[in-house]
Chain A
């Protein structure tokens, strides 16, 4: 197992230099669809942080204690996606019972998350890069935070854009992609601070 950079290093790298959205293109679908208002973006972002961290932990345990001893690594995809879907379902049921306010804030976003590529992507990267348990936790958390920063910033820019005049063909998806490109260039400025293998 690699332990080149420490747990905090991985966290910062996942947030800034290897931002899962802006450099890996993961989670673009919901990024473009749910980035109209800062408030909803914030809600979705927090749900992603929570689910991503938790599923990274569960998937790590499942992979190293269940799949690997039995030589079933090729079932990784199917198992991971089941874990994510089941986890989201359970969390949804729990918060529906426990807290009405939390449910209205986060609940509506949870079903969206199952098909969010970033969640599965984080788990797959963690396996491919041979992270240890602690590294996986910080990678999951960092990727979630990075994703949230990106979507909240995007929503903020798009709220301002409502007053701008945009060429007709660029309205909607086009302009969002250009903004994403510029944001991605800004995040490239962090490269060199710290690197992820």
Chain B
């Protein structure tokens, strides 16, 4: 049992990482990676939703009729997203306004749906919980790395604190839309390079 947990976690953080290996669910979250703080809030929300919807789907998996299972899991996910949205609106109105519709768009994030379909439908609640948490974190750390570089290069700040002085020419393209695409592409390139090299060494 313990071995299995470790295996699932490692796979979700590395080899099967949802973002750079499966390239899933980047839709709703690339948009918020221009500021580190927003990304962190979004990531926490995402981990929460992934983990709990995985548990719920897994507990109900024997009751859900196969024909409408997509619909049921979407509804479960949507309910948790509403929770996140209400909490954000109440305690962090500024962040909530900046994130705008992207909190709601967690619903259509393919990762959550994918984990519910692929994992929670066939596994026990506890294992599903672990899977949800770890794939959420595997997703979040990639986003945080991207957000870190985008904020640093785009505005010369980290977490809103100026790190690079006046000598730094701000790359305003990094905080705009194309920056996210380039950053993610470079990230995938580097990770794939490492994986390819490992595969060659293994041969």
Chain A residues within 8 Å of B, Cβ to Cβ: 22-29, 32, 74-78, 81-82, 85, 114-121, 124-125, 128, 167-170, 172-175, 177-178, 180-182, 184-185, 188
Residues from chain B with a CB closer than 8 A to the CB of A116 are 108
Chain B residues within 8 Å of A, Cβ to Cβ: 23-28, 30-31, 70-71, 74-75, 78-79, 81-82, 85-86, 100-101, 104-105, 107-110, 113, 173, 176-182, 184-185, 188-190, 192-193, 196
Residues from chain B with a CB closer than 8 A to the CB of A28 are 26-27, 30
Residues from chain A with a CB closer than 8 A to the CB of B104 are 76-77, 120, 124
Residues from chain B with a CB closer than 8 A to the CB of A81 are 74-75, 78, 107-108
Majority SS at the chain B contact face: helix
B184 and A177 contacting across the interface, CB-CB below 8 Å = yes
- Which B residue's beta carbon lies closest to that of A80? B104
Distance, CA A176 to CA B71, complexed state (A)? 31
Residues from chain A with a CB closer than 8 A to the CB of B178 are 181-182, 184-185, 188
Q: A23-B177, A77-B104, A170-B192 are known contacts; what are 15 more A-B pairs with Cβ within 8 Å? A: A25-B30, A26-B105, A29-B25, A32-B23, A78-B78, A117-B109, A120-B104, A120-B107, A121-B108, A124-B100, A173-B185, A177-B184, A177-B185, A178-B181, A184-B178
CB contact under 8 A between A121 and B176, given known A115-B110, A178-B182: no
A125 and B101 contacting across the interface, CB-CB below 8 Å = yes
Residues from chain B with a CB closer than 8 A to the CB of A188 are 176-178
Shortest A33–chain B CB gap in Å is 9
Distance, CA A77 to CA B100, complexed state (A)? 13
Distance, CA A170 to CA B182, complexed state (A)? 12
